[in-house]
Amino acid sequence: MTAEASRGAEAPPELVQLLTPEGERVEHPDYDIDLTPEEVRSLYRDLVLVRSIDLEAVALQRQGELGIWASLLGQEAAQIGSGRALTDADMAFPTYREHGVAWCRDVDPVKLLGLFRGVNHGGWDPKEHNFHLYTIVIGSQTLHAVGYAMGIQRDDAAAATLVYFGDGATSQGDVNESFIWASVFNAPIVFFCQNNQWAISEPLEKQTRIPLYRRASGFGFPGVRVDGNDVFACLAVTRKALEAARTGQGPTLIEAFTYRMGAHTTTDDPTRYRVASELEAWKLKDPIERVKAYLFKNELADQAFFDALDAEADQLGADLRRRCLAMPDPQPLDIFDHVYREPHSLIDEERAQFAAYLEGFEK
């Protein structure tokens, strides 16, 4: 077959799905998962609470309390499913939208808000949670993550690295370089691409001519497309990929096929570039509704459970709001604190100068 003849002749993309949008459990030959009712309820709880956190943050931004916010609306299952696949020893590298993964890593949600409220530069200790700080620059964390994974490899540790990025980031040089490094060094890493169909206003078809997961084979490692709105499938696929990484089988690219139901950030207006019918179609594939339907159909949860969870979500939101507003402004001199790990004479001098300058004002 000539190159011309093979163009576009690939088989249609395959999607790993274990739970349909209607809440029906389906089987997959390569991926399976056995969840207790308790575990399903717990996954559902995470999905609901994370959405609540997200909505609260959007509201806070709309009230002028946050400078900006990147909503995860619609991507909860991709994040909770993959986040819950991590073990304590694994390390995760987020973009700026992984609020659900942060939740799985026990990062207090209010700490996520500090950066966006402009009162700190990060908010949590990455080592304490094995969850790196948010990275705003598109795709650069993939290189950090591969470096970290190569460290794990050299320490001979039983851990893996999970790095998040979006469909737009796959066009970045950093991401492609990280694929090469990971492949050549057989690094214990899982690349988790949340393909939410839009890189701000740029649609997927302007990023790629083939399904993203198929790019992996060109770099020499497996790629798989999973229904990113199916928390069961995301959990199963990520677990398997992380386990492969931990056992020396090298990297995997997971393309979580999902949809950004909100704006890129609160500064963006998606109605200017995408059609409403697209959003409507994806609403029918909502990641939370299908788990709810599953719980209902199989009588794994009663109305009391859902009511209690709704109340918990409301409470979580209200607490988050209160604690966000109570966050203190940073002190001007704090800016010198984390420049160097050890004391540094030049920084000390600059700090003293700035302190003297601040003293020059009337109280």
Partner 1 sequence: MRREFKLPDVGEGLTEAEIVRWLVKPGDQVKVKQNVVEIETAKSIVELPIPWDGVVAALMADEGQTVDVGLPIIAVDTAEPGEPAGGGAAGTAAGAAPGEAIKALADDMVPRPPAEGAVEPGAHGSPAPKEERQAVLVGYGVKTGATKRRPRKAPAPPAAAPAAPAIPAAPVANPSRVEVTAHPVPARVAVLAKPPVRKLAKDLGVDLAAVTGTGPEGSITREDVRAAAETVAQPEARPARVAAPVGAEERVPVKGVRRMTAQAMVGSAFTAPHVTEFLQVDVTETMNAVARLRAMPDFADVKVSPLLLVARAVVTAARRHPMINSSWDEEAQEIVVKHYVNLGIAAATPRGLVVPNVKNAHELSLPELARSLGELAETARAGRTQPAEMAGGTITITNVGVFGVDAGTPILNPGEAAILAFGQVRDMPWVVGGELAVRKVTTLALSFDHRIVDGELGSLFLRDVGAMLEDPLRMLAWS
Smaller CB separation from partner 1, 87 or 201: 201
Is 260 known to be catalytic?
yes
Smaller CB separation from partner 1, 59 or 157: 59
Distances in Å between the alpha carbon of 238 and those of 29, 78, 108, 190, 269? Answer: 16, 10, 23, 8, 32
Q: Under a CB-based contact definition with an 8 Å cutoff, are residues 198 and 274 in contact?
A: yes
329 binds partner 1 (CB under 8 A): yes
- For residue 16 the two structure tokens come to 């790993």
Distances in Å between the alpha carbon of 2 and those of 104, 210, 215, 233, 276? Answer: 48, 18, 20, 37, 40
Binder to partner 1 among 20, 28, 41, 68 (CB under 8 A)? 68
Q: Under a CB-based contact definition with an 8 Å cutoff, are residues 104 and 94 in contact?
A: no
64 binds partner 1 (CB under 8 A): yes
326 binds partner 1 (CB under 8 A): yes
- Segment interacting with partner 1 (CB under 8 A) among 20-28, 226-234, 305-313, 317-325: 317-325
271 binds partner 1 (CB under 8 A): yes
Catalytic residue among 25, 62, 121, 273: 273
- For residue 189 the two structure tokens come to 């890493």
For residues 22 to 61, the per-residue mask of contacts with partner 1, x marking binding by CB under 8 A and - elsewhere, is ---------------------------------xx--x-x
Contacts 24+ apart (CB under 8 A), 147-152: 148/91, 148/93, 149/182, 149/187, 149/188, 149/189, 149/245, 149/251, 150/181, 150/185, 150/187, 152/91, 152/187, 152/188
Smaller CB separation from partner 1, 29 or 64: 64
- Alpha carbon 95 to its chain centroid, in Å, reads 6
Closest CA to 193 of 164, 234, 227: 164
The size of the interface with partner 1 (CB under 8 A), counted in residues, is: 40
209 binds partner 1 (CB under 8 A): no
Shortest Å distance, C-beta 329 to partner 1: 5
Shortest Å distance, C-beta 251 to partner 1: 32
196 binds partner 1 (CB under 8 A): no
12 binds partner 1 (CB under 8 A): no
| First vs last C-alpha separation in the chain | 80
Question: SS3 for 93?
Answer: strand
3-state secondary structure 284-303: CCCHHHHHHHHHHHCCCCCH
Applying the rule CB under 8 A, the residues between 272 and 301 that interact with partner 1 are 272-277, 280, 283-284
Shortest Å distance, C-beta 1 to partner 1: 23
- Segment interacting with partner 1 (CB under 8 A) among 72-80, 166-174, 270-278, 336-344: 270-278
Phi then psi dihedrals of residue 158, to 5 deg = -90, 70
Q: Under a CB-based contact definition with an 8 Å cutoff, are residues 254 and 193 in contact?
A: yes
Binder to partner 1 among 45, 51, 99, 117 (CB under 8 A)? 117
CA distance 311 to 306: 9
Binder to partner 1 among 19, 66, 102, 237 (CB under 8 A)? 66
- Segment interacting with partner 1 (CB under 8 A) among 3-11, 25-33, 229-237, 271-279: 271-279
- For residue 331 the two structure tokens come to 């002190």
Phi then psi dihedrals of residue 274, to 5 deg = -130, 155
- Segment interacting with partner 1 (CB under 8 A) among 63-71, 80-88, 179-187, 235-243: 63-71
180 binds partner 1 (CB under 8 A): no
Is 132 known to be catalytic?
no
356 binds partner 1 (CB under 8 A): no
Contact footprint for partner 1 (CB under 8 A): 55-56, 59, 61-68, 117-119, 263, 266-269, 271-277, 280, 283-284, 317-318, 321-322, 325-326, 328-329, 360-362
- Active-site residues, by number, are 260, 264, 273
